[in-house]
A and B are shown apart, each in its own frame.
Chain A
Amino acid sequence: MSLDYVKFSPGFEKFMPKEYRDMVEHGPFGKKVTVSQMGSFKEILEEHPMCAGCAMTLFIRLAIISFPNPEDTITVGTAGCGRLAISQAAIPFVYGNYGDQNGVASGLSRGLRLRFGDKPKDVVVMVGDGGMADIGFSGTLHSWFRKEKFTTIMLDNEVYGNTGGQESGMTNQGAVLKMAPLGKKFEKMDMLGMAKIAGCAYVATVVPNNPRRVESVIKKAVLIAREVGPTYIQAYTSCNIEYAIPTDKVMEDAKNVENDRYQFSEYVTEDAKQYLAERYGYKEFLPKPAAAISKA
């Protein structure tokens, strides 16, 4: 886990495919890249088998660009659409059984801390709503209650997109899907509320129709998870197949859903604010200058 693992073995440069050579020579490893530089460097994510126009892919692409230290990051995933893209990236990816991603990440995060001490190694869990809110629910909540220091990102497409459109805990009430023809009878689960109760240091909702916001949210979450505590991001990443959204209207749908039920929200604990301000110079979290001293 260092910059060495993205270098050529001596003598093999000319045998490597173009994509690999571009990654070594023009990739973001060891540099600071932002979403505004997209299109001018080789991205860590490569070609992937996700559907055309998938908003989840867009979010994954933005998220991977936003990692503060991609060379020191490991992603953890589980069954679901997301893993098809996350696994096609030039950073290590761990694929566990369905639903055990937060357990795997807990062990991984603790092991990395033992092995590397103070050198930050980031563990980022990126899992769909089914893997996190239904099947991996207990593992997810327990990792938060144990205050395991890693970032958990939910790719919430509000459906089991990979298996034909069954309802998940995160499906909206009343939604009619191919494998849920009567419509969902219960409300969408409040994972944000649960994350706050379970003690996450940073909780945010985000929609990928604002790339810079996605970047800022992911950076904060990964940095806070290094020392303060667990962090949770819930991202709306529509399934244009199961919800029958024309591919060129995916961003319009994201905008509508953002206005409807996915407004940007950010919850940062006081410890996390202080940590971001002192360690990484986040000006918005610096203590406010003392109010004008009363004239009395």
Chain B
Amino acid sequence: MYLVADINVEICAATSCKLCTQFCPEANTILYNNDAGKEKGLKYGSAYVAVDRCKGCAQCVWVCDNMAKHHAIKMVMIDQLPQAAITDNVTYGEKDTTALLVSQMVG
């Protein structure tokens, strides 16, 4: 098992700074879903991680904790993710990306 980044939708959708996306060294990994927070009545969308691309460097955790000061990202073992987005489930809209979230990773 290995660690991947997991973003707390509730903290993220309250602020929407998008810094983690801009500091991730992996392309197309931390994506931004404009609708993620709206169903819960939050103000903005939320970032989410395409876990099959995440290499677990935790740079986004440092950026979220120290630059944005939101503490919304944690490293989690991949089999213990509450919800996981994988690249196959990512769809790009005109202005935002969405991921169909599956309940739990298998294996």
Interface residues of A, Cβ cutoff 8 Å to B: 18-19, 22, 25-26, 35-36, 38-48, 50, 52-55, 57-58, 61-62, 209, 211, 247-252
Contacts and interface: CB of A to CB of B under 8 A. Distances in A.
A26 B90 CA distance: 12
B25 A47 contact: no
Contacts of A252: 62, 66
B84 interface: no
28 contacts: A18-B87, A19-B87, A22-B92, A36-B18, A38-B18, A38-B21, A38-B32, A39-B18, A39-B31, A39-B32, A40-B31, A40-B92, A41-B92, A47-B28, A52-B57, A53-B58, A53-B59, A55-B25, A57-B25, A58-B25, A61-B26, A247-B58, A248-B59, A250-B57, A250-B59, A251-B23, A251-B63, A251-B66
Size category, B interface: 20 to 34
A258 to B, nearest CB: 13
Interface of A is mostly: helix
Most chain A CB within a 10 A radius of its CB, from B59, B90, B96: B59
Interface of B: 18, 21-28, 30-32, 34, 47, 53, 55-59, 61-63, 66-67, 87-88, 90, 92, 95-97
Contact of A248 (B26, B34, B58, B97): B58
Contact of B92 (A26, A52, A55): A26
A103 B17 CA distance: 42
Given A39-B97, A52-B55, A252-B66, A211 B25 contact: no
Contacts, number: 89
Contacts of A42: 28, 92
A46 B27 contact: yes
Given A26-B92, A45-B27, A40 B32 contact: yes
Contacts of A35: 22
B26 A39 contact: no
Nearest to A248: B58
Nearest to B57: A53
